[in-house]
Structure 1
Amino acid sequence: MANRDRRDRLRDAAIEVLAEQGGRGLTHRAVDAAAGVPPGTTKNYFPTRQSLLQAIAERCVELYRDLPRPAITDRATLVAMMGALLADAAGPGRQRLLAYLELHAEAARAPWLAAILDDIAAADLTVFEEAQGAAGLPVTQERAAAVTLAMQAAIPHLLAGGPHTLAAAGLDDPDRFARDLLDAVYGRAEAQSEKYAHGH
């Protein structure tokens, strides 16, 4: 168990280094320092840069799977979930998402890494499609993809935090962005028909 704990500690420290220093700053020595372990420890666990990147990617997959999945019962709870995910990008999830974006840059030149990250992207599409169905929306694969990709495209802007871009895109209000996105994909008229269908 101690060995596994140290491995996770190193992987979390590597995410921290990748998020704060980028791909060029990701070294075994930097991870040792971030984890507070003796020099050479990271290299013992992950001998090459490729094995270190693989460890980070696999840890990101684990963290993604551990994210809470709130129950979706209608359009309002779907909007709340989407808004919370966007707010998380500029808050508690910032470091993980920064590292995730750095991994994608590396994956553009490393097919083996792209294959690992593909698990997260594919799972995201499924999660959002199921959530839209649970909200009572007339979801299709195409509509689910449009919502998912729009959410993913918002992440880099939220991480950069440019006020003009955030305001222009409506990302300065995550809940409003989520509502407007669903309106754009599904239409306001369908939102009204849902209310009538539920007796409102």
Structure 2
Amino acid sequence: MRQNQARRMALLDAAIDVLAREGARGLTFRAVDAQAEVPGGTTSNYFASRDDLLTQAGSRIYEHMQPDVATMAKSLEGPRDRERVAGLMHDLVDRIGAYSVGYLALLELRLEATRRPGLRAVLTEQVKAIIGANVEYHVGTGLPGDAKTVELLYLAINWLIVERLTLPGVFTEDRMRQLVDGAVERIVPAAEG
């Protein structure tokens, strides 16, 4: 297998684009080569199999979705209250919306994982790790609520993102913002005092 890391990342990004546009069945080495505008056979030189490509594309999506250092620093500014959590949830929805290709590709991978135990195992571990890190961050920074709060927000906000990206006509952007605020209001405990 080839070791040019920049080329590997470009091929994975092309695979993500193909997944979002064509679905898992459309993800072939040839389709990735075309999307990446590289000579035919390039993708097969970097990935041992289609399963390998699917698994690594999933990991790459999560890399893209991680907030950067500036975003993380900004999340710690101000009081640790419900309003801060609502702001963080709005930022998350906006950040994922800006990378809609990745999220749509991830949905395709999740569906494909129901048929591929190896992919399911990898995605399961990634999602568990992400939820664990979110719980640790939320509780560790003094935001209101506990692990269950984070898990419920994760579930509510993820489905809201699915609606926004797959059926954007269901809710207006204004209504989506109201729904994020409503989810936080109902899930995150009020400040004591």
TM-score, structure 1 length as denominator? Answer: 0.80
Q: In 2, Cα distance between the equivalents of 1:89 and 1:58?
A: 16
Q: Is the 8 A contact 2:100 2:165 kept in 1?
A: yes
Uncovered stretches (5+) of structure 1, i.e. residues with no partner = none
In structure 1, the partner of 2:186 is: 184
Q: In 1, Cα distance between the equivalents of 2:67 and 2:6?
A: 17
1:94 to 95, 100, 119: 100
Q: How does 1:38-49 map to 2 (within 5 A)?
A: 38-49=39-50
Q: In 2, Cα distance between the equivalents of 1:77 and 1:143?
A: 14
Q: Is the 8 A contact 1:84 1:174 kept in 2?
A: no
In structure 2, the partner of 1:81 is: 88
Question: How many aligned residue pairs are there?
Answer: 185
Q: CA deviation at 1:29?
A: 0.9
Q: CA deviation at 1:102?
A: 0.6
Q: CA deviation at 1:180?
A: 1.1
* 1:115 and 2:118 are equivalent in the alignment: no
Give the percent of matched residue pairs that are identical in Structure 1 and Structure 2: 31
Q: CA RMSD in A?
A: 2.4
Q: Is the 8 A contact 2:33 2:42 kept in 1?
A: yes
In structure 2, the partner of 1:124 is: 130
Uncovered stretches (5+) of structure 2, i.e. residues with no partner = none
Q: In 1, Cα distance between the equivalents of 2:178 and 2:133?
A: 21
- Structure (1 or 2) with the larger CA radius of gyration: 1
Q: Is the 8 A contact 2:18 2:31 kept in 1?
A: yes
In structure 2, the partner of 1:71 is: 75
* 1:18 and 2:19 are equivalent in the alignment: yes
* 1:147 and 2:143 are equivalent in the alignment: no
Q: Is the 8 A contact 2:18 2:35 kept in 1?
A: yes
Q: Is the 8 A contact 1:132 1:144 kept in 2?
A: yes
In structure 1, the partner of 2:55 is: 54
Over residues 114-134 of structure 1, what are the superposed CA-to-partner deviations in whole Å (9 max), with x where a residue is unaligned? 122123322332344345433
TM-score, structure 2 length as denominator? Answer: 0.83
Q: Is the 8 A contact 1:18 1:99 kept in 2?
A: yes
In structure 1, the partner of 2:38 is: 37
